[in-house]
């Protein structure tokens, strides 16, 4: 039974690993497409041809080398079966071009000009002559349909506007875009940067100073109240403990009272805190054999200089800089 569990865990790990690798390619999405390109984005030969933009939604780089681009998914089901062949009409993205490696959250543009010999980014089909109105991206093994985008073909043939996702990589909200954005985000925002806004709204920095000081004080006042609460609860706990120990203390006091003169003598012999600390320290050092031969002298006598425990804490810190006069 144990060995079966091992195999199950091993299989789960293998599948999980596979999913992690697959996840990268599966994060690619068609983002924007333009068919009627009269004076828009041109390719490296200066030609205005239809293009499609793919967006890497992942936060890691994804290499789409080996994947397939197509406007005809015929044969997909057969390709997905064991021993199935990849249809020859799919455009196989070359594996030798380093530019197919997409950085995180980046865009890549393919020209749909049916001229695959023109370079890596020129697909072998042209939507203007295509029988379908979609474009598909299929994984390198031909088994996974990574993304499929339907587009209003006739409208795109008539219009010079591009069609794409409203928000980068988020499918379901595709429409005609107001601007062409090949190789960049579809979400064109004309926003004023934080710096520009501050320059106009707060040219002297007074507003920022007031807000910032308020936030600093708020943060530290919150800590102040928390510490007050700490102090209050500590006091309560101490009082509760004292109340708990009160009967024993009363009993001890009563015993001491009934003991007469002999106990009075014992009281005077009671150790002070400093003496107890010195003895405890000596015992600690002795039993832990930390220092067999002490170079220092341990004493309970008051030092000639008026050091307080606080001042001594200062001694373990960096020495005061010497200023030569």
Partner 1 sequence: MFDFFREGLIQFFGYSGFGNCTWGHIIMICVGLFFITLGVVKEFEPMLLVPIGFGMIIGNIPFTDGLQIGVYENGAVLNYLYFGVIKGFYPPLIFLGIGAMTDFSALISNPKLILVGAAAQFGIFAAYAIALLLGFTPMEAGAIGIIGGADGPTAIFLSSKLAPSLMGAIAVSAYSYMALVPVIQPPIMRLFTNEKERVIRMRPPRAVTHREKVLFPLFCILLTAFLVPSGIPLLGMLFFGNLLKECGVTKRLANTASGPLIDIVTILIGLTVGASTQATNFLTPKSILIFALGAFSFVIATATGVLFVKFLNLFLKEGNKINPLIGNAGVSAVPDAARVSYVEGMKFDKTNYLLMHAMGPNVAGVIGSAVAAGILLSFLY
Radius of gyration of the chain measured on its C-alpha atoms: 40
d(CA 59, CA 100): 16
Q: Does 314 bind partner 1 (CB under 8 A)?
A: yes
Nearest residue (CB) to partner 1, 216 versus 253: 216
Write the binding mask 232 to 271 for partner 1: x where contact by CB under 8 A, - elsewhere: --x--x----------------------------------
Q: Burial level of 218, CB count in 10 A (0-12/13-18/19+)?
A: exposed
168 phi and psi angles, rounded to 5 deg: -50, 125
Among 3, 38, 179, 195, binds partner 1 (CB under 8 A): 195
Residue 104 sits in the site that holds partner 1 (CB under 8 A): no
Torsion of CA 106, 111, 112, 113, to 10 degrees: -170
Nearer to partner 1 (CB atom), residue 189 or residue 322? 322
Nearer to partner 1, 45 or 307 (CB): 307
With CB under 8 A, what is the number of residues at the site for partner 1?
Answer: 44
Selected from 8, 9, 78, 219, the binder of partner 1 by CB under 8 A is 219
* CB neighbourhood size of 97 (10 A): 13
Least distance CB 240 / partner 1 (angstroms): 13
Question: Which CB sits closer to partner 1, 9 or 209?
Answer: 209
Q: Is 226 in the site for partner 1 (CB under 8 A)?
A: yes
Q: Which residues bind partner 1 (CB under 8 A)?
A: 194-195, 198-199, 203-206, 208-209, 211-213, 215-224, 226-228, 230-231, 234, 237, 306, 308, 310-311, 313-314, 317-324
């Amino acid at each position: 039974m144990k060995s079966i569990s091992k195999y199950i865990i091993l299989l789960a790990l293998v599948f999980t690993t596979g999913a992690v690798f697959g996840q990268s390619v599966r994060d690619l999405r068609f983002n924007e497409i333009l068919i009627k390109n009269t004076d828009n984005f041109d390719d490296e030969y200066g030609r205005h041809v239809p293009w499609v933009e793919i967006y890497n939604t992942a936060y890691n780089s994804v290499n789409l080398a080996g994947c397939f681009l197509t406007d005809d998914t015929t044969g997909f089901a057969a390709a997905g079966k064991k021993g199935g062949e990849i249809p020859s009409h799919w455009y196989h993205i070359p594996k030798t071009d380093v530019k197919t490696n997409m950085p995180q959250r980046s865009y890549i543009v393919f020209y749909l000009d049916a001229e695959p010999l023109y370079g890596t980014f020129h697909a072998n089909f042209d939507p203007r002559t295509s029988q379908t109105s979609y474009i598909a991206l299929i994984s390198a093994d031909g088994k996974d349909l990574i993304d499929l985008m339907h587009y209003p073909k006739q409208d795109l043939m008539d219009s010079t506007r591009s069609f794409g996702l409203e928000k980068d990589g988020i499918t379901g909200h595709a429409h005609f875009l107001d601007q062409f954005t090949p190789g960049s985000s579809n979400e064109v925002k004309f926003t004023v940067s934080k710096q520009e806004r501050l320059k106009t709204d707060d040219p002297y920095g007074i507003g920022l100073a007031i807000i910032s000081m308020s936030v600093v004080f708020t943060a530290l006042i919150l800590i102040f109240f928390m510490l007050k609460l700490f102090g209050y609860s500590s006091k309560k706990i101490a009082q509760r403990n004292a109340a708990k120990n009160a009967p024993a203390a009363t009993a001890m006091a009563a015993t001491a009272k009934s003991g007469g003169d002999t106990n009075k003598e014992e009281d005077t012999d009671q150790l002070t805190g400093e003496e107890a600390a010195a003895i405890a320290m000596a015992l600690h050092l002795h039993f832990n054999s930390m220092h067999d031969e002490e170079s220092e002298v341990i004493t309970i006598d008051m030092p000639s200089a008026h050091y307080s425990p606080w001042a001594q804490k200062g001694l373990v810190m960096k020495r005061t800089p010497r200023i030569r006069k």
